[in-house]
């Protein structure tokens, strides 16, 4: 259930300041929000769609909102014109769609009304209202996407992992020209298998969604001072996948470059602490300036290894901890040492993990984790809380969400919310 949340002023004029929708990337937030529903969307509004004048605004989020309200209010002409505009002639798509229909499948061409559309959506004849296979082609829309990731990686991830399509299939033009029957056999088999896995039919009459989204269509109704119908409970998503490709540069990211281990002396040097303090202090400074902010436990192990000690025991560890200058600890109570060039209060960067061995999340400061969250939220224009945690885990090279890592991520997120670096609105974590 959505409320537009705004109304006309005393002069009867509707303002166009719809919060985050007018920001750059605001249309993505609207798209994410509206495609959450599995069966029905109820929109509550105190104004008619025609009151929202979009001619003078360049904000795509506002333009998309107006288009969606028009469709929800039952303006079928808007829906038809939008689809007609999207469905430019494509011989490859038309031939494939015709051949699939001849095999008895239900086929919709150019499915969805956002900038990213599915060329063909397939359903089995016994479940014609439930499109279960998204087919991507290498046509004009594919060609227009700027990067390999945008063309071949991200669409599949978004459709299958975020939007819940049971199957996503690609059909390349050379494959279709050489082996058309094999292509048709594969698509028919995938469609019928996905249809068999659908839950029992629900007695509802869905209408087309205003944005590309869930494979079960979304029924969008605009309720203006009218009664609400309780929608069926939506299934709960339990599996989240990362959606930010590894080659994308997130605001604030630096590449983690660890200190190169080397032996600088014999182990007896550490045994003579604090007498041997000058040479140890020199090494501390070198490591902190290279890796900082660095956890004191990791620093102590690197120092021990530099003096030929592969396993650091309690006694030696305490001697090294005692040798760490207090000036490096810039946050009271936190076990992290900061280089002279950085200040926790002003640093907005984070060290993204690439090919080297990941650091344990417990050895990454809350400041750095929080900075990564802010960068991710800015890059994506906002994410649901669970998805933000998983994206943050990914940029630090971790593969699995455990109770400990989730706890640390949540602590970092709460710290960002307290400092108002992030805000949480309408189910999304955003940059204020």
What dihedral angle (degrees, nearest 10) is formed by the CA atoms of 108, 113, 115, 118?
Answer: -20
- Number of structural domains found in the chain: 3
pLDDT in tens, 202-214: 443 333 333 344 3
pLDDT in tens, 364-375: 999 999 999 999
pLDDT grade for 328, boundaries at 50, 70 and 90: very high
CATH number, position 128: 3.40.960
pLDDT in tens, 102-131: 999 988 887 654 445 678 889 998 887 678
Query: Based on the domain organization, do 171 and 57 belong to the same domain?
Result: no
Residue 214 in domain: no
Predicted confidence at residue 154, as pLDDT, reads: 55
Q: Report DSSP state, residue 22.
A: G
- At residue 100, φ and ψ (nearest 5 deg) are -70, -40
Residue 236 has pLDDT above 50, yes or no: no
Contact by Cβ (8 Å): 280, 316: no
Whole-angstrom Cα distance, residue 348 to residue 314? 35
Q: Which domain holds residue 70?
A: 2-82
Residue 240 has pLDDT above 50, yes or no: no
Domain end position, chosen among 82, 97, 119: 82
Query: Based on the domain organization, do 271 and 195 belong to the same domain?
Result: no
Domain end position, chosen among 49, 82, 115: 82
In 158-202, where does DSSP find H-type helix? Answer: 173-178, 180-196
Residue 226 in domain: no
Query: Based on the domain organization, do 298 and 373 belong to the same domain?
Result: yes
Query: Based on the domain organization, do 288 and 418 belong to the same domain?
Result: yes
Residue 247 in domain: no
DSSP states of 366-391: HHHHHHHHHHHHHHHT-B-HHHHHHH
Residue 235 in domain: no
Query: Based on the domain organization, do 380 and 396 belong to the same domain?
Result: yes
Residue 156 in domain: yes
Structure-token match 């960067």, residue found: 349
Greater model confidence, 255 or 143: 255
Query: Based on the domain organization, do 272 and 384 belong to the same domain?
Result: yes
Residue 320 in domain: yes
Whole-angstrom Cα distance, residue 63 to residue 57? 8
Residue 294 has pLDDT above 90, yes or no: yes
Q: How far is CA 105 from CA 168, 212, 345, in A?
A: 16, 20, 60
In this prediction, residues 246-257 reach a mean pLDDT of: 87
pLDDT grade for 275, boundaries at 50, 70 and 90: confident
Structure-token match 């469709």, residue found: 71
Query: Based on the domain organization, do 298 and 416 belong to the same domain?
Result: yes
Residue 221 in domain: no
Residue 141 in domain: yes
Whole-angstrom Cα distance, residue 17 to residue 403? 40
Contact by Cβ (8 Å): 195, 127: yes
In this prediction, residues 146-150 reach a mean pLDDT of: 58
Query: Based on the domain organization, do 72 and 114 belong to the same domain?
Result: no
Query: Based on the domain organization, do 413 and 278 belong to the same domain?
Result: yes
Query: Based on the domain organization, do 261 and 387 belong to the same domain?
Result: yes
Predicted confidence at residue 86, as pLDDT, reads: 46
Domain end position, chosen among 24, 52, 82: 82
Greater model confidence, 152 or 175: 175
Query: Based on the domain organization, do 154 and 71 belong to the same domain?
Result: no
Query: Based on the domain organization, do 271 and 401 belong to the same domain?
Result: yes
């Amino acid at each position: 259930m959505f409320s537009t949340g705004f109304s006309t002023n005393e002069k009867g004029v509707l303002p166009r300041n719809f919060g985050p929708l007018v920001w750059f990337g605001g249309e993505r937030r609207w798209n994410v929000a509206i495609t959450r529903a599995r069966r029905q969307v109820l929109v509550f509004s105190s104004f008619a769609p025609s009151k929202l004048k979009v001619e003078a605004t360049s904000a795509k989020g506002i333009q998309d909102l107006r288009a969606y309200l028009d469709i929800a209010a039952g303006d079928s002409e808007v829906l038809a014109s939008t689809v007609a505009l999207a469905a430019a002639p494509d011989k490859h798509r038309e031939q494939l769609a015709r051949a699939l229909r001849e095999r008895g499948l239900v086929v919709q061409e150019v499915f969805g009304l956002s900038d990213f559309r599915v060329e063909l959506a397939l359903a089995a004849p016994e479940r014609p209202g439930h499109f279960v296979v998204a087919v991507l082609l290498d046509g004009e829309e594919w060609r227009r996407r700027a990067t390999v990731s945008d063309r071949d990686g991200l669409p599949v991830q978004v459709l299958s992992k975020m939007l819940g399509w049971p199957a996503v299939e690609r059909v390349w033009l050379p494959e279709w020209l050489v082996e058309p029957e094999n292509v048709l056999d594969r698509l028919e088999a995938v469609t019928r298998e996905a249809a068999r896995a659908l839950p029992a039919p629900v007695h509802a009459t869905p209408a087309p969604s205003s944005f590309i989204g869930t494979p079960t269509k979304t029924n969008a109704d605009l309720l203006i001072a009218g009664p609400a119908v309780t929608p069926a409970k939506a299934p709960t998503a339990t599996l989240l996948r990362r959606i930010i490709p590894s080659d994308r540069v997130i605001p604030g990211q630096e590449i983690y470059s660890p200190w190169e281990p080397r032996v600088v002396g014999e182990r007896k040097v550490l045994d003579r602490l604090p007498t041997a303090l000058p040479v140890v202090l020199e090494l501390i400074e070198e490591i902190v300036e290279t890796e900082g902010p660095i956890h004191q436990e990791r620093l102590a192990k690197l120092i021990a290894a530099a003096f030929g000690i592969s396993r650091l025991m309690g006694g030696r560890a305490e001697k090294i901890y005692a040798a760490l200058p207090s000036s490096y600890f810039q946050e009271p109570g936190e076990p992290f040492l900061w280089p002279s060039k950085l200040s926790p209060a002003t640093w907005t960067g984070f060290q993204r993990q690439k090919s080297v061995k990941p650091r344990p999340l417990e050895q990454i400061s809350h400041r750095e984790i929080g900075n990564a969250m802010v960068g991710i939220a800015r890059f994506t224009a906002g994410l649901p809380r669970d998805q933000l945690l998983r994206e943050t885990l990914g940029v630090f090279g971790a593969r699995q969400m455990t109770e400990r890592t989730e706890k640390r991520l949540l602590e970092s997120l709460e710290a960002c919310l307290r400092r108002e670096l992030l805000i949480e609105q309408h189910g999304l974590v955003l940059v204020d």
